[in-house]
Amino acid sequence: MNRILVINPGSTSTKFAIYHDEENVFEKTLRHSGEELKDFPTVASQYEFRKETILNSLKENNVELRFDIIVGRGGLLHPLQSGAIEVNELMKSELLVAKWGEHACNLGALIADNLAKAFNCRAIVADPVVVDEMTDVAHISGHPTFPRKSIFHALNQKAIARKYSKDCGKAYEDLNLIIAHIGGGVSVAAHCKGKAIDANNALSYGAFSPERSGTMPSTELVKLCFSGKHTEHEIQRMLCGKGGLIAHLNSNDAREVEARIAQGDKHAELVYHAMAYNIAKEIGAMMAVLKGECDAILLTGGIAYSKPFTQYIIDMVGKLAPVKIYAGEDELGALAAYGISVMNGGSCDTYTEYKA
């Protein structure tokens, strides 16, 4: 039996769980208030604080501090293939200075490595957000200075693809799928025979989400950048963190928005429908990527629990391919599966070293 600790840091939460092989024997979500995090100048500087909250929670619940492997959610690194990768000093040094970008998922490797040293076990990350299986043509944008980058919810999307494959009795490598992860961020990807050959950048462009602006009119954005009215940081926050539903409705909570709609808020209804409308358009674009050959469209993420929201999307794309809903996410389970595979020497043990 493998004893696995999995860690999934979010912007205001740290989720972690202990697995005995496939069995989840302990799970916890720690919430972090803005007051708790306000004095940390960078995301990376939070890692000692977050590590201690995990340890304290384990001790408070009398959990045995013994593990065979620790698996962290992968962060913003250079483009990588899908799989598991050992945490090393180069990876940590790049995450500490946010060389490839700053995001809470960067903390996964840092916490995993620190705890692994304390417990004398291995530390890996798996299916980081920078998994890049896009085709060469998909990387080309309208200007060579701005290539399209693959940053999407690879961990959950790959897990949902494998779950659907199991449900329908076919191999992931034999299917064409379009998967939309709909949560605080939104990513829509075309999966062709086991590879995500195109995806929107969940931090930069595509459909807007509860917290992100998605694709913006470029000429107006350039004018705003040079208007002198906002700092670079303020504009970055407008695009990612303070965009989407927050900018329009001052809320990133889809449940709250739906409650406002139920009370007759027509503006909230329009904006909420616009978000679903934009996601459906991204799905349509990925249907073109797959040349119209798609076995299923899968909707996942927290907002996929909303029947009105998913129905709006189904009404737009339901004639393109069958739509199946896998609400929520099982990223902890997906991380554990990689831990099991690595410990057992399975096919997921793709990488042993992170290289520049």
340 has pLDDT over 70: yes
The arithmetic mean of pLDDT across residues 299-322, rounded, is 97
Task: Please give the backbone phi and psi of residue 12, each rounded to the nearest 5 degrees, phi first.
Answer: -130, 20
pLDDT above 70 as % of the chain: 98
> What pLDDT, on the 0 to 100 scale, is given for residue 350?
55
The arithmetic mean of pLDDT across residues 13-22, rounded, is 94
> What pLDDT, on the 0 to 100 scale, is given for residue 13?
86
191 has pLDDT over 90: yes
pLDDT tens digits, one per residue of 241-295: 899 999 999 999 999 999 999 999 999 999 999 999 999 999 999 999 999 999 9
349 has pLDDT over 50: no
pLDDT tens digits, one per residue of 203-253: 999 999 999 999 999 999 999 999 999 999 999 999 998 999 999 999 999
pLDDT tens digits, one per residue of 296-306: 999 999 999 99
> What pLDDT, on the 0 to 100 scale, is given for residue 167?
97
> What pLDDT, on the 0 to 100 scale, is given for residue 347?
52
> What pLDDT, on the 0 to 100 scale, is given for residue 11?
80
> What pLDDT, on the 0 to 100 scale, is given for residue 36?
86
Global pTM reads: 0.92
> What pLDDT, on the 0 to 100 scale, is given for residue 344?
87
The arithmetic mean of pLDDT across residues 304-314, rounded, is 97
pLDDT above 90 as % of the chain: 90
Mean pLDDT in the chain? 94
